[in-house]
Amino acid sequence: MDSSRLAARLFSSLVIVPVRLAHRALGDGIWSPLEALAAGLGAVAGTVARPLLGSGPPEAHPLAPVVRLTNLVEGSLGIEGTDEFLDPETARRTVHRCPFAADLTYATQFCTRLGCTAGKAASRSIVPGSDFEVLATLSRGDPHCEYVFSKK
């Protein structure tokens, strides 16, 4: 089993399945407490990763470190996508394949609330003044996932 498959299985076992069970038992009331947890985890991940990501050469896009972290995390889980640097303050990631999308249709808020909250916290820890927004998700039935990173 390759490392991304193993990571995806671990993520599913440690995150997806418990959230699914909690959602079945408690309904949409689980999202607010889980958002607080996701914010803390995102901030820690960003703080730990920041020195490892570097800023790149002076001509590098200011959001490149945030995009690199997203690629590292998603790539390790078997999530495949492309990145575009749209202008000096905006980058977009489009995900074409996600092994979790079909499993998440039970709770479409997983990506939009938890993923977005963790993404915002990680982004702000890596690039102060940055933001992260989820515009589309496979789990909601969109043709792809789309996130936008921005620097204020």
Tens of pLDDT, residues 33-55: 999 999 999 999 999 998 888 76
The predicted-structure confidence for 68-92, as pLDDT tens digits, reads as follows 999 988 898 889 999 999 999 999 9
pLDDT of residue 17: 86
| pTM score, whole prediction | 0.84
The residue among 125, 120, 121 whose CA lies nearest residue 147 is: 120
pLDDT band at 12 (very low <50, low <70, confident <90, very high): confident
pLDDT of residue 55: 64
* Six token digits for residue 57: 């050469």
Which residues have C-beta within 8 Å of that of residue 137, sequence separation ≥ 6?
101, 104, 108, 111, 112, 145
pLDDT of residue 2: 76
User: Where would I find the H helices in the chain?
Assistant: 3-11, 17-26, 31-53, 64-76, 109, 116-126
CATH architecture of the domain 3-151 equals: 2-Layer Sandwich (3.30)
